[in-house]
Amino acid sequence: MTSPRALTPLDRLLVEAQRALGTTLGVARAERPNPAGRLRDPALDAEDVRHAAGLMRVNHTGEVCAQALYVGQAAVARDDATRAQLLAAAQEETDHLAWCADRLRELDSRPSLLNPLWYAGSYAIGVAAGLRGDGWNLGFVVETERQVEAHLDEHLASLPAGDARSRAILGTMKVDEARHADHAVAAGARLLPRPVAAAMAMASKVMKTVAYRI
Ligand SMILES: [Fe+2]
Ligand SMILES: [Fe+2]
């Protein structure tokens, strides 16, 4: 039996590129069943469908960003346990990504055309955070998940009243994101400086505004 060959930098680059393509092109496959299950597809008027699709496109892009952030952080994490936790978090976000993509299809819409750009930007932010050390890495996870949780509350309030399927997906995502944050706190996350958290909130506001439309 031959022993596995260590990954060269080119191998790693190709693995990362393949992961980026899989994430941004929306071919993610969920491991858990879609929370919308057999809920009846509601009768939504054209304006409701347009708005729900805009919101679900934002959520899909948010999951693309979360994956890129965690994979970028994992690429430079110093501690193996931290790296494993970051990659596990990225894996769990794959369910969210797949569910949002499913709902976009049901609404006869599509993911953001700018997802490759959002992925690249988030990956760069993840690497920058990771280079500052593992406490920061986990702090980023906590801040990201808390901001996503608050944002999901806004979307749950903003979804058309009849859109039970999107609501079921976002409700499950919210529970998952809270758990991701709690795990990172338990693993020793440090609190990020307030300007960093504010910059993250600003960046996600830009993403949300653009991804709703494009
Ligand atoms: Fe998520
Ligand atoms: Fe999460």
Tens of pLDDT, residues 56-73 = 999 999 999 888 988 888
Answer whether residue 192 shows pLDDT above 60.
Answer: yes
H or E element in which residue 197 lies: helix 194-213
- Tell me whether residue 17 is exposed, middle or buried, using C-beta atoms within 10 angstroms of its C-beta: 0 to 12, 13 to 18, 19 or more: exposed
Answer whether residue 2 shows pLDDT above 50.
Answer: no
> What's the pTM?
0.83
End-to-end CA distance of the chain: 51
Ligand nearest to the CA of 152: 1
pLDDT at residue 57, as a whole number: 95
Answer whether residue 52 shows pLDDT above 50.
Answer: yes
Find where tokens 């994430």 sit: 23
Distance 114 CA to ligand 2 centre (A): 21
Output the average pLDDT for the chain.
85
Distance 66 CA to ligand 1 centre (A): 7
How far from 42 is each of 59, 130, 158, 167, CA to CA, in Å? 20, 43, 16, 11
Answer whether residue 19 shows pLDDT above 80.
Answer: no
Residues 144-160 have a mean pLDDT of: 92
Sign for the pseudo-dihedral over CA of 140, 141, 147, 151: positive
Most confident option among 36-40, 84-88, 106-110: 106-110
Report d(CA 9, CA 2) in Å as an integer: 21
pLDDT at residue 3, as a whole number: 47
Distance 5 CA to ligand 2 centre (A): 32
Q: Which of 67, 65, 61, 49 shows the shortest CA–CA distance to 165?
A: 49
Distance 6 CA to ligand 1 centre (A): 31
Answer whether residue 1 shows pLDDT above 50.
Answer: no
Answer whether residue 17 shows pLDDT above 80.
Answer: no
